[in-house]
Homo-oligomer: A and B are copies of this chain.
Amino acid sequence: MPLLSATAAACPNIALIKYWGNKDHEFRIPENGSISFNLSGLATKTTVTFDPAFEEDRLSINDEVIEDSGLKRVKSFLKIIRQMSGKPYFAHVTSQNNYPMSVGIASSAAAFAALSVAASAAIGLTLSERELSRLARRGSGSACRSIPSGFVEWYPGNSDQNSYAESFASPDHWDLTDLIAVVTKKHKSVGSTAGHALAHTSPLQTARIADTQRRLSVVRHAILNKDFEALAEMVELDSNMMHAVMMTSNPPLVYWEPTTISIIKSVPIWRNENIHVCYTMDAGPNVHVICLKEDVQTVQAKLKEIPGIQDVLIANVGQGTRLITD
C-alpha cells in the first residue's frame, strides 16, 4: 500500500465583511455572507499521514504535541474525512505556523484549510475547490475562505451543500497590504466558536444580519473597481458592527484593548490626510491596518508612533490553499 500522506500550505484570511453567528452550529452555516482576502506571507503548513497501523489520531503544532480541545476538534474533522473516504484509518497531523496563534489572526482558518487539502489528498479523495471549501468550513467556518485564491466571497447558503467560498478576483487584481498591529500575544479568553454561539444573544445581531447584502455589495464592487475610499468606509463600519454585536451579547465580548482604541481612532484621521488606509478587526484585539502598496511606508511609520503596539506583521493578497508535492 502506498504511503497515505500529503502536505498542504494555507494562508489565513482577513474578512472585510465579517462572519459572526451561525444558522447551524454543527455545519457552521453562517447567518450572513462574508468577503475576505488571503494573507500571503503568513502560512500554515500541515502534513497528514493516515496509516492502518495507527491506533489513534495525533496532532502536533509547532513541534508541540497537542492533547486538549485542539486535538478533539481535529479528531471530529478527521472523522468526517474517514466517513467521506470509507477508510477508517487514524491519522498523524503535524502543523507549523509562521505567525502567532489565537490572537485574532484566524489561525484556525489556515489550519483547517491546510488540513482539508492535506487530509483529503492523503486519503485519496479527489475534491473540487468547492468541495474543499465546504469541507474546510466544517472545521472552522472562515477556513472555507482560505481555500480559493485572492479575494473571496463566502456564499452563506442554508445547508452543507450550498455554503462555500469562491474567488472573485485574483491576488494580483489589487495591491492591498495588511499591516497587522499586534496589540497582545495573549491567547484570547473566548474563542470564535464559542463567540458565534453568543451572537444571537445581542439585541443588535438581527439588524446586523439584515443589513449584510448592502455591505457585501458595496465591498464587492469597491474591490472590483479598486475604489479604496468606498472600501474603507464600509470595511470599518462592518468591523464596528461585528464588535457592536460582540459587546452587546450576553455575556458581552469586549475584544478591544486600550491600544486598539488608539489605532482605530487614528486610522480615519490618517485617511483624512489622503493616505489610503482603513482598519478592520477579527475576534481579537489586534488591528488589521489595510492600505495601498504606495502608502505602506507612511502607515508603518505612523504605527510606530502609537504606544502599545508589540509587533507589526505584513501580508499581501495571497493564494489559496495548495498541495506541496516536493
Residues of A within 8 A of B (CB): 203-204, 206-208, 210-211, 233, 236-237, 240-241, 244-245, 247-248, 250, 252, 254, 256-262, 264-265, 268, 308
A254 contact from B211, B261, B308, Cβ within 8 A? B261
A233 to B248, CA, bound (A): 10
Ordered by A's residue number, 12 sampled pairs between the chains whose C-beta atoms are within 8 Å are A203-B207, A203-B241, A204-B204, A204-B207, A204-B208, A204-B244, A206-B207, A207-B207, A236-B252, A244-B247, A244-B248, A252-B268
Secondary structure type dominating chain A contacts:
helix
User: Which chain B residues border A257 with CB–CB below 8 Å?
Assistant: 261
- Taking A254-B265, A258-B258 as known contacts, 11 extra A-B pairs with beta carbons closer than 8 A to each other, sorted by chain A number, are A203-B241, A204-B207, A233-B250, A237-B252, A240-B248, A240-B252, A244-B244, A252-B268, A254-B261, A254-B264, A258-B308
A256 contact from B244, B252, B259, B261, Cβ within 8 A? B261
User: Which chain B residues border A256 with CB–CB below 8 Å?
Assistant: 261
User: Which chain B residues border A204 with CB–CB below 8 Å?
Assistant: 204, 207-208, 241, 244
Nearest-neighbour CB distance to chain B for A180, whole angstroms, equals 19
A244 to B244, CA, bound (A): 5
Q: Is the CB of A262 within 8 A of B252?
A: no
Nearest-neighbour CB distance to chain B for A9, whole angstroms, equals 36
Nearest-neighbour CB distance to chain B for A297, whole angstroms, equals 26
Interface centre among A211, A240, A262 (most CB of B within 10 A): A240
* A238 nearest CB neighbor, chain B only: B248
Known contacts A203-B207, A207-B207, A244-B244; A258 and B252 CB within 8 A of each other? no
A259 to B257, CA, bound (A): 9
User: Which chain B residues border A268 with CB–CB below 8 Å?
Assistant: 252
User: Which chain B residues border A260 with CB–CB below 8 Å?
Assistant: 261
A240 contact from B247, B259, B265, Cβ within 8 A? B247
Nearest-neighbour CB distance to chain B for A20, whole angstroms, equals 13
* A264 nearest CB neighbor, chain B only: B254
Nearest-neighbour CB distance to chain B for A201, whole angstroms, equals 10
Nearest-neighbour CB distance to chain B for A171, whole angstroms, equals 30
A258 to B259, CA, bound (A): 6
